[in-house]
Amino acid sequence: MSPKRGDRAAPPPVNTEYDIRFASSSAADGWEELARQASTNLRRAYETIRANPRTVTAPERHHRLKGSLANGAWKGQTHERWQYEVTTGGRIWYLIDDERRTAWITYAGTGHPKVTD
C-alpha cells in the first residue's frame, strides 16, 4: 500500500533489521486501532519484530504459531507465521520473508483472529 498525505512515515530498516509491511488494508487498519489503544506496547512489538522477528525472549507474548497456522503463503511462497501478543486480546500475526528481509503483517487487531475461535 502506497503512503498518502497525512500517513505516518516509517523509518527504513538499517543493517540487519527487517522491514515491516502490511499484507492487507485490514491489517493496516487493525494496526491503527492497536496504536490508539496500546501505543507503548505496539511500539515494543514493532521494535522487537524489526530487530529479530524470531526472538523468543518473551515466549508468552511472542512465538511461532503451531499446527496448520505455523506457515502462511505470501506472493507464491510459504513463510513461517508468528504472533506477537500486544495486549491481552490484541494480536499481530506476521509472515517472515527472509529473502526480502520483511515481516508481512497479515493480521493486527485488538481481538483474537477469528480463525483461532
**For strand 19-22 and strand 102-109, is the pairing parallel, antiparallel, or unpaired?**
parallel
| Per-residue pLDDT tens over the stretch 50-66 | 999 999 888 889 999 99
| Per-residue pLDDT tens over the stretch 62-108 | 999 999 999 999 999 999 999 999 999 999 999 999 999 999 999 99
Record the pTM: 0.91
Cell of 21: 509491511
Rg (CA), the chain: 13
